[in-house]
Structure 1
Amino acid sequence: MTDMRRILVLDGSAAGESAYGLAACVEHKAGRYTLLSCSKVAGKQAAEGIAGLAHHALDDAGWSKEAETAPHCVAVVVGPGSFTGLRASCAVAAGYALGLGVPVTGVTRGEALRPSLEQTIREHSEQPLQGWLLVTAARKGRVFIETTEGVQAVSLADWIPPSGVWLVAGDAVSLLPAMPEGEVSTLAMPDAEQIAQVALARLNGYLPPRDALPVYVDPPEAKRPAGGLRSAPV
Protein backbone atom coordinates (compact mmCIF):
# COMPACT_ATOMS: atom_id res chain seq x y z
CA MET A 1 0.00 0.00 0.00
CA THR A 2 1.28 3.45 -0.89
CA ASP A 3 2.23 5.49 2.17
CA MET A 4 -0.23 8.40 2.23
CA ARG A 5 -0.62 9.30 5.88
CA ARG A 6 -1.88 12.87 5.58
CA ILE A 7 -5.18 13.46 3.76
CA LEU A 8 -6.75 16.86 3.12
CA VAL A 9 -10.54 16.37 2.94
CA LEU A 10 -12.91 18.87 1.30
CA ASP A 11 -16.71 18.73 1.20
CA GLY A 12 -19.02 21.39 -0.20
CA SER A 13 -21.67 19.03 -1.54
CA ALA A 14 -24.51 19.61 0.92
CA ALA A 15 -27.41 21.67 -0.46
CA GLY A 16 -30.53 23.40 0.84
CA GLU A 17 -31.03 23.84 4.56
CA SER A 18 -28.27 21.30 5.28
CA ALA A 19 -25.62 23.19 3.29
CA TYR A 20 -22.14 23.69 4.72
CA GLY A 21 -18.51 23.84 3.71
CA LEU A 22 -15.93 21.58 5.33
CA ALA A 23 -12.16 21.19 5.20
CA ALA A 24 -10.34 18.74 7.43
CA CYS A 25 -6.95 17.18 7.97
CA VAL A 26 -7.05 13.44 8.61
CA GLU A 27 -4.06 11.29 9.54
CA HIS A 28 -3.91 7.61 8.62
CA LYS A 29 -1.56 5.68 10.87
CA ALA A 30 -1.45 2.03 11.91
CA GLY A 31 -4.80 1.40 10.23
CA ARG A 32 -6.57 4.18 12.09
CA TYR A 33 -7.96 7.48 10.80
CA THR A 34 -7.55 10.42 13.18
CA LEU A 35 -9.11 13.84 12.70
CA LEU A 36 -6.41 16.42 13.46
CA SER A 37 -8.31 19.56 12.51
CA CYS A 38 -11.61 20.59 10.97
CA SER A 39 -13.01 23.89 9.71
CA LYS A 40 -16.74 23.80 9.05
CA VAL A 41 -19.17 26.63 8.32
CA ALA A 42 -22.92 26.22 7.80
CA GLY A 43 -24.92 28.08 5.18
CA LYS A 44 -25.80 27.96 1.50
CA GLN A 45 -22.79 30.09 0.52
CA ALA A 46 -20.34 28.44 2.92
CA ALA A 47 -18.82 26.14 0.30
CA GLU A 48 -17.80 29.14 -1.81
CA GLY A 49 -15.26 29.98 0.89
CA ILE A 50 -13.84 26.47 1.10
CA ALA A 51 -10.36 27.66 0.11
CA GLY A 52 -10.26 29.69 3.31
CA LEU A 53 -11.53 26.74 5.32
CA ALA A 54 -8.76 24.57 3.87
CA HIS A 55 -6.17 27.18 4.84
CA HIS A 56 -7.44 27.22 8.42
CA ALA A 57 -7.57 23.42 8.67
CA LEU A 58 -4.01 23.05 7.39
CA ASP A 59 -2.78 25.78 9.72
CA ASP A 60 -4.50 24.20 12.74
CA ALA A 61 -2.98 20.80 11.92
CA GLY A 62 0.47 22.30 11.39
CA TRP A 63 0.67 20.90 7.87
CA SER A 64 2.67 22.84 5.29
CA LYS A 65 4.97 22.31 2.35
CA GLU A 66 7.64 24.42 4.01
CA ALA A 67 7.66 22.22 7.11
CA GLU A 68 7.66 19.08 4.93
CA THR A 69 4.31 18.08 6.46
CA ALA A 70 2.15 18.79 3.43
CA PRO A 71 -0.80 16.48 2.69
CA HIS A 72 0.08 13.34 0.76
CA CYS A 73 -3.24 13.44 -1.11
CA VAL A 74 -6.49 15.38 -1.42
CA ALA A 75 -10.00 13.90 -1.18
CA VAL A 76 -13.11 15.77 -2.25
CA VAL A 77 -16.79 14.85 -2.14
CA VAL A 78 -18.00 15.08 -5.74
CA GLY A 79 -21.73 14.75 -5.18
CA PRO A 80 -24.51 14.48 -5.51
CA GLY A 81 -25.42 17.90 -4.23
CA SER A 82 -25.00 21.63 -4.60
CA PHE A 83 -24.00 22.76 -8.10
CA THR A 84 -21.98 25.72 -6.80
CA GLY A 85 -20.59 23.88 -3.80
CA LEU A 86 -19.33 21.01 -5.92
CA ARG A 87 -17.64 23.30 -8.42
CA ALA A 88 -15.96 25.32 -5.68
CA SER A 89 -14.72 22.36 -3.64
CA CYS A 90 -13.51 20.40 -6.68
CA ALA A 91 -11.65 23.43 -8.01
CA VAL A 92 -9.94 24.02 -4.65
CA ALA A 93 -9.06 20.32 -4.39
CA ALA A 94 -7.50 20.37 -7.85
CA GLY A 95 -5.57 23.54 -6.99
CA TYR A 96 -4.08 22.10 -3.81
CA ALA A 97 -3.19 18.83 -5.53
CA LEU A 98 -1.47 20.65 -8.39
CA GLY A 99 0.39 23.02 -6.09
CA LEU A 100 1.60 20.25 -3.80
CA GLY A 101 2.22 17.71 -6.54
CA VAL A 102 0.03 15.07 -4.88
CA PRO A 103 -2.89 12.93 -6.14
CA VAL A 104 -6.50 14.01 -5.81
CA THR A 105 -9.56 11.78 -5.95
CA GLY A 106 -13.32 12.09 -5.79
CA VAL A 107 -15.67 10.35 -3.35
CA THR A 108 -19.47 10.34 -3.47
CA ARG A 109 -21.57 10.68 -0.34
CA GLY A 110 -22.91 7.17 -0.75
CA GLU A 111 -19.43 5.69 -1.13
CA ALA A 112 -18.31 7.33 2.11
CA LEU A 113 -21.41 6.21 4.02
CA ARG A 114 -21.63 2.76 2.44
CA PRO A 115 -19.70 0.83 5.15
CA SER A 116 -21.95 2.25 7.89
CA LEU A 117 -25.11 1.70 5.85
CA GLU A 118 -24.19 -1.88 5.07
CA GLN A 119 -23.31 -2.55 8.70
CA THR A 120 -26.81 -1.36 9.64
CA ILE A 121 -28.26 -3.74 7.04
CA ARG A 122 -26.27 -6.67 8.44
CA GLU A 123 -27.39 -5.88 12.00
CA HIS A 124 -31.05 -5.44 11.09
CA SER A 125 -32.82 -8.35 12.74
CA GLU A 126 -36.51 -7.73 12.03
CA GLN A 127 -36.50 -8.55 8.32
CA PRO A 128 -33.88 -8.75 5.56
CA LEU A 129 -33.11 -5.44 3.82
CA GLN A 130 -32.27 -5.68 0.15
CA GLY A 131 -30.19 -2.51 0.04
CA TRP A 132 -29.96 1.18 0.87
CA LEU A 133 -31.22 4.44 -0.61
CA LEU A 134 -29.41 7.70 0.20
CA VAL A 135 -31.78 10.65 -0.32
CA THR A 136 -30.27 14.14 -0.60
CA ALA A 137 -31.65 17.56 -1.49
CA ALA A 138 -31.87 18.78 -5.07
CA ARG A 139 -33.56 21.72 -6.80
CA LYS A 140 -36.92 22.16 -8.48
CA GLY A 141 -39.01 19.77 -6.40
CA ARG A 142 -36.63 16.84 -6.73
CA VAL A 143 -34.24 14.77 -4.65
CA PHE A 144 -31.12 12.80 -5.52
CA ILE A 145 -31.31 9.07 -4.86
CA GLU A 146 -27.97 7.28 -4.57
CA THR A 147 -27.65 3.48 -4.42
CA THR A 148 -24.84 1.04 -5.12
CA GLU A 149 -25.81 1.36 -8.79
CA GLY A 150 -25.26 5.13 -9.00
CA VAL A 151 -27.19 8.40 -8.65
CA GLN A 152 -30.39 9.68 -10.22
CA ALA A 153 -32.56 12.76 -9.77
CA VAL A 154 -36.19 11.97 -8.90
CA SER A 155 -39.18 14.31 -9.08
CA LEU A 156 -41.09 14.25 -5.80
CA ALA A 157 -44.35 14.62 -7.73
CA ASP A 158 -43.58 11.42 -9.67
CA TRP A 159 -41.98 9.48 -6.81
CA ILE A 160 -43.06 5.87 -6.48
CA PRO A 161 -41.39 3.95 -3.64
CA PRO A 162 -39.43 0.94 -4.91
CA SER A 163 -40.73 -2.51 -4.11
CA GLY A 164 -38.97 -4.53 -1.48
CA VAL A 165 -37.60 -3.65 1.94
CA TRP A 166 -34.95 -0.91 2.09
CA LEU A 167 -32.76 1.07 4.44
CA VAL A 168 -33.44 4.76 3.72
CA ALA A 169 -30.96 7.46 4.78
CA GLY A 170 -29.95 11.01 3.89
CA ASP A 171 -30.67 14.62 4.75
CA ALA A 172 -33.79 14.82 2.54
CA VAL A 173 -35.68 11.71 3.63
CA SER A 174 -38.42 13.89 5.12
CA LEU A 175 -39.18 15.31 1.65
CA LEU A 176 -40.32 11.96 0.26
CA PRO A 177 -44.14 11.93 -0.11
CA ALA A 178 -44.20 8.18 0.56
CA MET A 179 -41.68 5.93 2.24
CA PRO A 180 -40.50 2.55 0.98
CA GLU A 181 -41.07 -0.38 3.26
CA GLY A 182 -38.17 -0.89 5.63
CA GLU A 183 -36.03 1.11 8.03
CA VAL A 184 -35.09 4.80 8.25
CA SER A 185 -31.51 5.60 9.24
CA THR A 186 -30.22 8.75 10.92
CA LEU A 187 -27.12 8.68 8.70
CA ALA A 188 -27.05 11.74 6.46
CA MET A 189 -23.60 13.16 5.71
CA PRO A 190 -20.23 11.40 5.93
CA ASP A 191 -17.57 12.64 8.30
CA ALA A 192 -14.01 13.47 7.26
CA GLU A 193 -12.61 10.14 8.41
CA GLN A 194 -15.13 8.20 6.31
CA ILE A 195 -14.29 10.29 3.25
CA ALA A 196 -10.55 9.84 3.81
CA GLN A 197 -10.91 6.06 4.15
CA VAL A 198 -12.66 5.72 0.79
CA ALA A 199 -10.17 8.07 -0.85
CA LEU A 200 -7.19 5.98 0.25
CA ALA A 201 -8.91 2.77 -0.83
CA ARG A 202 -9.46 4.34 -4.25
CA LEU A 203 -5.93 5.70 -4.60
CA ASN A 204 -4.47 2.32 -3.64
CA GLY A 205 -6.51 0.50 -6.29
CA TYR A 206 -9.13 -1.18 -4.09
CA LEU A 207 -11.92 0.85 -5.71
CA PRO A 208 -12.38 1.97 -9.32
CA PRO A 209 -10.85 5.40 -10.03
CA ARG A 210 -13.05 8.48 -9.80
CA ASP A 211 -11.92 11.90 -11.02
CA ALA A 212 -12.26 14.87 -8.71
CA LEU A 213 -15.05 16.28 -10.89
CA PRO A 214 -18.62 17.09 -9.87
CA VAL A 215 -21.19 14.33 -10.33
CA TYR A 216 -23.81 16.19 -12.34
CA VAL A 217 -26.94 14.07 -12.58
CA ASP A 218 -28.84 16.45 -14.84
CA PRO A 219 -27.82 17.63 -18.30
CA PRO A 220 -26.66 21.26 -18.58
CA GLU A 221 -29.50 23.79 -18.54
CA ALA A 222 -27.72 26.19 -20.87
CA LYS A 223 -28.58 25.71 -24.53
CA ARG A 224 -26.89 26.88 -27.70
CA PRO A 225 -28.65 29.71 -29.56
CA ALA A 226 -31.00 28.47 -32.30
CA GLY A 227 -28.96 30.35 -34.87
CA GLY A 228 -25.71 28.76 -33.73
CA LEU A 229 -22.74 30.25 -31.98
CA ARG A 230 -21.24 33.55 -33.05
CA SER A 231 -18.27 33.35 -35.38
CA ALA A 232 -14.82 33.81 -33.90
CA PRO A 233 -13.61 37.44 -33.74
CA VAL A 234 -11.31 38.51 -36.54
Structure 2
Amino acid sequence: MVVQRILVLDGSPAGEQASGTAACVANNAGQLHVLAYRQEAGKQAAEGVSLLAAEVLQQAGWSHAQSTAPDLVAVVVGPGSFTGLRASCAAAAGYAVGVGCPVVGVTRAEALAPELDAILAAQAEKVAGWLVVTAARRGRVFVEDAQGARAVTVADWVPPAGTWLVAGEACSELAFPSVIQSHVSHPDVKQIAVAALKRVEGELPPRSALPLYVDPPEAKLPANGLRAAPV
Protein backbone atom coordinates (compact mmCIF):
# COMPACT_ATOMS: atom_id res chain seq x y z
CA MET A 1 0.00 0.00 0.00
CA VAL A 2 1.39 3.39 -1.03
CA VAL A 3 0.45 6.13 1.42
CA GLN A 4 0.98 9.66 0.14
CA ARG A 5 -1.67 11.62 2.05
CA ILE A 6 -2.30 11.22 5.79
CA LEU A 7 -5.03 12.93 7.81
CA VAL A 8 -3.92 13.18 11.46
CA LEU A 9 -6.44 13.76 14.25
CA ASP A 10 -5.74 14.19 17.96
CA GLY A 11 -8.21 14.99 20.74
CA SER A 12 -6.35 13.17 23.51
CA PRO A 13 -4.92 15.97 25.73
CA ALA A 14 -6.86 16.22 28.99
CA GLY A 15 -7.41 18.73 31.75
CA GLU A 16 -5.80 22.13 31.32
CA GLN A 17 -4.02 20.85 28.19
CA ALA A 18 -7.28 19.80 26.48
CA SER A 19 -7.20 20.59 22.78
CA GLY A 20 -8.12 19.36 19.34
CA THR A 21 -5.67 18.98 16.47
CA ALA A 22 -6.06 18.12 12.80
CA ALA A 23 -3.41 18.10 10.09
CA CYS A 24 -2.82 17.02 6.50
CA VAL A 25 0.60 15.39 6.17
CA ALA A 26 2.08 14.53 2.77
CA ASN A 27 4.45 11.58 2.46
CA ASN A 28 6.95 11.96 -0.37
CA ALA A 29 9.17 8.87 -0.42
CA GLY A 30 9.49 8.89 3.36
CA GLN A 31 9.82 12.66 3.67
CA LEU A 32 6.87 14.07 5.60
CA HIS A 33 5.52 17.57 5.01
CA VAL A 34 2.70 19.25 6.92
CA LEU A 35 0.49 20.90 4.31
CA ALA A 36 -2.24 22.15 6.65
CA TYR A 37 -2.51 22.32 10.43
CA ARG A 38 -5.16 23.47 12.91
CA GLN A 39 -5.08 23.30 16.68
CA GLU A 40 -7.48 24.81 19.17
CA ALA A 41 -7.37 24.70 22.95
CA GLY A 42 -10.21 23.64 25.18
CA LYS A 43 -12.49 20.67 25.68
CA GLN A 44 -14.91 21.99 23.06
CA ALA A 45 -12.13 21.97 20.46
CA ALA A 46 -11.34 18.33 21.23
CA GLU A 47 -15.00 17.42 20.86
CA GLY A 48 -15.20 19.34 17.58
CA VAL A 49 -12.08 17.88 15.97
CA SER A 50 -14.15 16.90 12.92
CA LEU A 51 -14.61 20.61 12.17
CA LEU A 52 -10.85 21.13 12.36
CA ALA A 53 -10.41 18.18 10.01
CA ALA A 54 -12.76 19.76 7.48
CA GLU A 55 -10.73 22.99 7.62
CA VAL A 56 -7.35 21.38 7.02
CA LEU A 57 -8.69 19.20 4.23
CA GLN A 58 -9.98 22.30 2.50
CA GLN A 59 -6.67 24.13 3.03
CA ALA A 60 -4.70 21.22 1.59
CA GLY A 61 -7.11 20.80 -1.32
CA TRP A 62 -7.73 17.17 -0.47
CA SER A 63 -11.13 15.76 -1.39
CA HIS A 64 -12.72 12.54 -2.53
CA ALA A 65 -14.36 14.36 -5.42
CA GLN A 66 -10.97 15.40 -6.83
CA SER A 67 -9.40 11.97 -6.19
CA THR A 68 -7.06 13.54 -3.64
CA ALA A 69 -8.64 12.13 -0.50
CA PRO A 70 -6.27 10.90 2.24
CA ASP A 71 -4.82 7.41 1.78
CA LEU A 72 -4.71 6.93 5.54
CA VAL A 73 -6.30 8.41 8.66
CA ALA A 74 -4.23 8.36 11.86
CA VAL A 75 -5.77 9.15 15.23
CA VAL A 76 -4.26 9.32 18.71
CA VAL A 77 -6.21 6.80 20.79
CA GLY A 78 -4.85 7.72 24.22
CA PRO A 79 -4.33 7.65 26.98
CA GLY A 80 -6.15 10.89 27.61
CA SER A 81 -9.46 12.70 27.69
CA PHE A 82 -12.48 10.36 27.68
CA THR A 83 -14.61 12.77 25.66
CA GLY A 84 -11.80 13.91 23.37
CA LEU A 85 -10.85 10.33 22.52
CA ARG A 86 -14.42 9.36 21.73
CA ALA A 87 -14.92 12.37 19.48
CA SER A 88 -11.62 12.12 17.60
CA CYS A 89 -11.79 8.34 17.13
CA ALA A 90 -15.37 8.58 15.90
CA ALA A 91 -14.42 11.35 13.46
CA ALA A 92 -11.45 9.35 12.18
CA ALA A 93 -13.45 6.17 11.68
CA GLY A 94 -16.33 8.01 10.03
CA TYR A 95 -14.11 9.85 7.58
CA ALA A 96 -12.16 6.72 6.68
CA VAL A 97 -15.37 4.85 5.92
CA GLY A 98 -16.63 7.76 3.86
CA VAL A 99 -13.62 7.87 1.53
CA GLY A 100 -12.74 4.18 1.71
CA CYS A 101 -9.27 4.45 3.23
CA PRO A 102 -7.68 2.65 6.22
CA VAL A 103 -7.69 4.17 9.71
CA VAL A 104 -5.22 3.28 12.46
CA GLY A 105 -4.82 4.21 16.09
CA VAL A 106 -1.59 5.47 17.65
CA THR A 107 -0.82 5.94 21.34
CA ARG A 108 1.16 8.88 22.65
CA ALA A 109 4.12 6.72 23.63
CA GLU A 110 4.18 4.93 20.27
CA ALA A 111 4.52 8.30 18.55
CA LEU A 112 7.17 9.55 21.00
CA ALA A 113 9.15 6.30 21.18
CA PRO A 114 11.74 7.08 18.45
CA GLU A 115 12.65 10.42 20.04
CA LEU A 116 12.78 8.93 23.53
CA ASP A 117 14.88 5.99 22.34
CA ALA A 118 17.32 8.45 20.75
CA ILE A 119 17.61 10.37 24.03
CA LEU A 120 18.31 7.11 25.88
CA ALA A 121 20.99 6.13 23.37
CA ALA A 122 22.76 9.45 23.91
CA GLN A 123 23.01 9.05 27.70
CA ALA A 124 26.42 8.27 29.14
CA GLU A 125 24.93 6.67 32.25
CA LYS A 126 22.82 3.54 32.37
CA VAL A 127 19.11 4.34 32.16
CA ALA A 128 16.46 1.74 32.96
CA GLY A 129 14.03 2.99 30.34
CA TRP A 130 11.50 5.71 29.57
CA LEU A 131 8.01 6.56 30.78
CA VAL A 132 5.44 8.96 29.37
CA VAL A 133 3.33 10.55 32.13
CA THR A 134 0.17 12.39 31.14
CA ALA A 135 -2.63 14.14 33.00
CA ALA A 136 -5.63 12.26 34.38
CA ARG A 137 -8.30 13.10 36.95
CA ARG A 138 -8.77 12.66 40.70
CA GLY A 139 -5.15 12.89 41.78
CA ARG A 140 -3.92 10.40 39.23
CA VAL A 141 -1.79 10.32 36.10
CA PHE A 142 -1.51 7.96 33.15
CA VAL A 143 1.85 6.21 32.83
CA GLU A 144 2.76 4.62 29.50
CA ASP A 145 5.84 2.65 28.51
CA ALA A 146 6.64 0.36 25.60
CA GLN A 147 4.46 -2.39 27.11
CA GLY A 148 1.27 -0.37 27.66
CA ALA A 149 -0.50 2.22 29.79
CA ARG A 150 -1.88 2.29 33.31
CA ALA A 151 -3.46 4.78 35.68
CA VAL A 152 -1.47 5.66 38.81
CA THR A 153 -2.63 7.44 41.94
CA VAL A 154 0.06 10.01 42.69
CA ALA A 155 -0.23 9.55 46.47
CA ASP A 156 0.30 5.77 46.15
CA TRP A 157 3.11 5.93 43.60
CA VAL A 158 6.02 3.59 44.26
CA PRO A 159 8.93 4.58 42.01
CA PRO A 160 10.83 1.83 40.21
CA ALA A 161 14.51 1.34 40.94
CA GLY A 162 17.17 2.85 38.74
CA THR A 163 17.38 5.98 36.62
CA TRP A 164 14.45 6.71 34.31
CA LEU A 165 13.86 9.06 31.42
CA VAL A 166 10.46 10.65 32.07
CA ALA A 167 8.45 12.62 29.50
CA GLY A 168 4.91 13.97 29.25
CA GLU A 169 3.14 17.07 30.55
CA ALA A 170 2.60 15.49 33.99
CA CYS A 171 6.10 14.06 34.44
CA SER A 172 6.80 16.32 37.44
CA GLU A 173 3.86 14.77 39.34
CA LEU A 174 5.78 11.57 40.12
CA ALA A 175 8.91 11.28 42.26
CA PHE A 176 11.89 9.12 41.25
CA PRO A 177 15.11 8.33 43.13
CA SER A 178 17.01 9.19 39.96
CA VAL A 179 15.39 10.80 36.94
CA ILE A 180 16.15 12.48 33.64
CA GLN A 181 13.27 14.79 32.79
CA SER A 182 12.69 15.24 29.08
CA HIS A 183 11.30 18.38 27.49
CA VAL A 184 9.10 16.12 25.35
CA SER A 185 5.46 16.48 26.36
CA HIS A 186 3.22 15.45 23.47
CA PRO A 187 3.83 14.04 19.99
CA ASP A 188 3.60 16.37 17.03
CA VAL A 189 1.63 15.48 13.91
CA LYS A 190 4.70 14.20 12.04
CA GLN A 191 5.53 11.81 14.88
CA ILE A 192 1.94 10.57 14.87
CA ALA A 193 2.08 10.08 11.10
CA VAL A 194 5.38 8.17 11.34
CA ALA A 195 3.92 5.77 13.90
CA ALA A 196 0.82 5.29 11.73
CA LEU A 197 2.98 4.44 8.70
CA LYS A 198 4.94 1.92 10.78
CA ARG A 199 1.64 0.34 11.79
CA VAL A 200 0.47 0.09 8.18
CA GLU A 201 3.82 -1.39 7.13
CA GLY A 202 3.71 -3.99 9.93
CA GLU A 203 6.54 -2.55 12.02
CA LEU A 204 4.06 -1.99 14.85
CA PRO A 205 1.33 -4.47 15.83
CA PRO A 206 -2.20 -3.67 14.65
CA ARG A 207 -4.21 -1.15 16.66
CA SER A 208 -7.74 -0.13 15.79
CA ALA A 209 -8.96 3.45 15.97
CA LEU A 210 -10.68 2.81 19.30
CA PRO A 211 -10.14 4.85 22.47
CA LEU A 212 -7.52 3.43 24.81
CA TYR A 213 -9.50 3.56 28.03
CA VAL A 214 -7.14 2.90 30.92
CA ASP A 215 -9.83 3.21 33.60
CA PRO A 216 -12.78 0.81 33.95
CA PRO A 217 -16.20 2.14 32.92
CA GLU A 218 -17.82 4.43 35.48
CA ALA A 219 -21.37 3.64 34.38
CA LYS A 220 -23.28 1.27 36.67
CA LEU A 221 -26.16 -1.02 35.85
CA PRO A 222 -29.53 -0.08 37.38
CA ALA A 223 -30.23 -1.75 40.72
CA ASN A 224 -33.25 -3.54 39.22
CA GLY A 225 -31.40 -4.61 36.08
CA LEU A 226 -31.87 -3.51 32.50
CA ARG A 227 -35.27 -2.91 31.01
CA ALA A 228 -36.87 -5.70 29.08
CA ALA A 229 -36.48 -5.61 25.31
CA PRO A 230 -39.38 -3.87 23.53
CA VAL A 231 -42.03 -6.09 21.97
Q: TM-score if structure 2 supplies the norm length?
A: 0.98
Superposed displacement of residue 180, structure 1? 4.3
Partner of 1:194: 191
Structure 1 position 72 matched with structure 2 position 66: no
Superposed displacement of residue 187, structure 1? 0.3
Could you tell me the percent identity over the aligned residues? 60
Instruction: Classify the secondary structure of the residue corresponding to 1:213.
Output: coil
What are the within-5 Å matches in structure 2 for residues 30-179 of structure 1? 30-125=29-124, 127-176=125-174, 178-179=175-176
The two structures, once aligned, show a CA RMSD in angstroms of 0.9
8 A contact 2:141–2:154 mirrored in 1: yes
Structure 1 position 204 matched with structure 2 position 196: no
Summarize deviations over 1:88-143 as a string: whole Å, max 9, x none: 00000001100000000000000000000000000112x11111010000011100
CA distance in 2, matches of 1:164, 1:45: 40
- Extract unaligned runs of 5+ from structure 2: none
CA distance in 2, matches of 1:26, 1:6: 6
Instruction: Classify the secondary structure of the residue corresponding to 2:16.
Output: helix
8 A contact 2:140–2:153 mirrored in 1: yes
Summarize deviations over 1:125-163 as a string: whole Å, max 9, x none: 2x1111101000001110000001100000011011111
Which residue identity does 1:182 align to in structure 2?
Answer: V
In structure 2, relative to structure 1, the CA distance for the partners of 1:180 and 1:112 (3 Å cut) is: farther
Instruction: Classify the secondary structure of the residue corresponding to 2:24.
Output: strand
CA distance in 2, matches of 1:229, 1:27: 49
Equivalences, count: 231
8 A contact 2:160–2:176 mirrored in 1: no
Superposed displacement of residue 17, structure 1? 1.1
Q: TM-score if structure 1 supplies the norm length?
A: 0.96
Instruction: Classify the secondary structure of the residue corresponding to 2:66.
Output: coil
Superposed displacement of residue 44, structure 1? 2.4
CA distance in 2, matches of 1:205, 1:91: 24
Superposed displacement of residue 182, structure 1? 2.3
- Structure 1 runs of 4+ aligned residues shifted over 2 Å read none
CA distance in 2, matches of 1:47, 1:18: 10
Partner of 1:227: 224
